[in-house]
Amino acid sequence: MNKYKFINLSVFIIFFGTALFEAFQKQNWIEVVLFLALGILSLWADSKKS
């Protein structure tokens, strides 16, 4: 399953990065904090899974 780790990271960057960028543009700070927290939690859970 190590060969799929890059795919997981790229999907994470695309979806969370886009959502975070949009929240920054709208200056919706609650969404920014929410997406940052969800992103950090997702990365932590993905690293613990391996």
Burial class (CB in 10 A: 0-12, 13-18, 19+), 4: exposed
> What's the pTM value of the predicted model, to 2 decimals?
0.67
Residue 10 pLDDT: 80
Widest pairwise Cα distance in the chain? 38
Residue 3 pLDDT: 60
Q: What share of the chain is helix, strand, coil (3-state, %, to 5)?
A: 90, 0, 10
Say how far apart CA 25 and CA 48 lie, in whole Å.
32
Q: Which domain holds residue 10?
A: 2-49
pLDDT tens digits along 1-50: 556 666 677 878 888 888 888 988 999 999 989 988 888 888 787 777 65
Residue 4 pLDDT: 62
Number of compact structural domains in the chain: 1
Residue 30 pLDDT: 93
